[in-house]
Amino acid sequence: MNEIYSHIESHVDESIQQLFELVRQPSISTQKVGFDKAPGVMKELLERNGFDAEIVPVPNDGLPTVYGYMAASENPETAPTLLFYCHYDVQPVDPLDLWDTDPFEPTQVGDRLYGRGMSDDKGNIGARLAAIRAFIDERGGVPCNIKMFCEGEEESGSINLPDLIAERGDDFKADACIWEGGGRNLNDDPFMYLGLKGVLGVGLSVRMLSGDAHSSYAAILPSAAWRLLRALQTIKDEDENILIDGFYDGITEPSPEAIAAVEALPDDAPEWLDTFGVSGFVKGLDGEDLRKQLTFQPTANIAGLDSGYQDAGLKTVLPAEAKAKMDFRLVPEQRPYDIVEKLRKHLDKHGFEDVEIEVLGAVNPYRTDLNSPWVQLVAETAEEIYGRKPVMTPNMAGTGPMFDFGDTLGMPIATSGIDHPSHKIHAPNENITVEDFLLGAKHAALIIERFARDWG
């Protein structure tokens, strides 16, 4: 593998320039910004790196997936097939004033490269392409068949992905899958995650008046803002219990291996406290209990609240309408559309039939078996590249559409990537280091090599 690693190192400037091309092209799926060009930029980059690439229309007028296929240089009919899941869409850039550089003008400051998507997930795409190009240049091709699935709607909840998988899933099937993410943690240990929580995102709204009224009429007219607040109050209590009937139904104890893996994770509580400027966590949690809460417990979060006037000074208004956005992070036994039904029943039961629910995002949770051979292969290769055993998270607290690949298409999934907690993903000043990029690229290369050897 030394010639492959040397190629990755000696061509790092070119690889970073390719990554910069991707970052320079905005692709904010939530706001549909940049998608006139972004799928084409992604497709062209796959083609330039040796893939047959296609812009795949997504059902329900979704933002397109870009898909690439590269056959093994020898015996492609019998060679195993590896799928890399990535996404070329990014999070919104606001608050823009907290960025030190233009989010869509990639900038190097010291050893860090800044820009929206530099880490999540364009950096992972770039690192994987760097690995693949090394095989092509050094050995005339890749040793296994490779599929690159680059989604365009991951950051806005992958809401159309299940329909795409139902329509064309067979095309994307592979013998194993490497997910986005993974990399190093705060202790510089390699880390892998083997699952993701699901999510249900909803908009809640209530309208009480045909139009805003003078606030003196609050003496006699009903308030939408107060009504929505009262409805929200019924959903969660002060001890973090979610009060929707049946919300926790079917949730089982995590496996002993999953619990042991969480216990073995590093204690990053001080970092959290420092990052968010808080003096403690909910319920006074700390240590292993804190990590178990983060990994194994579902949530009910208010992501946004909106009613009436919030600009300068005072406007004495009684707003006609109030709105909230909520997201529920779900654990493996839960399903988002089941939770919507339960939320509807809950609001009705409490007399809030007039509070409307709009589903904004729904992703099933997923967790890979910690003992699967695929997880072992990826863990062993991580140890070779990083020089230390990886720490494993049974599932991340965040969400992604692993279920559609792991469960619906039935392939084992593990992670490998360029991540580090200092990358500020989803936040202002998102960045990577060249070192993280190189490690991620080398790990991708070694996975390709071992997979081709052991999975034939």
Q: Which amino acid is at 299?
A: T
Tell me if 436 contacts Zn ion by CB under 5 A. Answer: no
DSSP letters, 8-20, are HHHTHHHHHHHHH
Angstrom distance (rounded) from CA 101 to CA 86:
25
Q: Which is nearer to Zn ion, 319 or 417 (CB)?
A: 417
The pattern of x and - marking residues 90 through 129 that bind Zn ion according to CB under 5 A reads ------------------------------xx--------
CB of 181 to Zn ion, least distance (A): 6
For residue 153, state whether it binds Zn ion (rule: CB under 5 A): no
Sign of the Cα torsion 130, 18, 75, 380 reads positive
Q: Which residues ranging from 225 to 284 are in contact with Zn ion (CB under 5 A)?
A: none
How many residues does the structure list for the chain?
456
> Which residue is listed with tokens 């190093």?
184
Q: Which is nearer to Zn ion, 121 or 153 (CB)?
A: 121
Greatest Cα pair distance, the chain, in angstroms, is 80
Beta carbons of 185 and 393 less than 8 angstroms apart: no
The residue (of 120 and 436) whose beta carbon lies closer to Zn ion is 120
Size of the site for Zn ion (CB under 5 A): 2
Considering only residues 380 through 409, tell me which ones interact with Zn ion, judged by CB under 5 A.
Answer: none
Rounded distance between C-alpha atoms, residue 103 and residue 118, angstroms: 9
In this complex, which beta carbon is closest to Zn ion, that of residue 153 or of residue 449? 153
Residue among 121 and 327 whose Cβ is closer to Zn ion: 121
Q: How far is the CB of 217 from Zn ion (least distance, A)?
A: 47
Q: How is residue 349 written in tokens?
A: 């039961």
- Give me the least distance between CB of 120 and Zn ion, in Å please: 4
Which C-beta is closer to Zn ion: that of 207 or that of 426? 426
* Nearest distance, CB of residue 121 and Zn ion, angstroms: 4
- Angle, helices 38-48 vs 12-24, to 10°: value is 160
Taking Cα atoms as reference points, which of 7, 28, 6 lies closest to residue 122?
Answer: 28
Under the binding rule (CB under 5 A), the answer on residue 89 touching Zn ion is: no
Q: Which residues are near Zn ion by CB under 5 A? A: 120-121
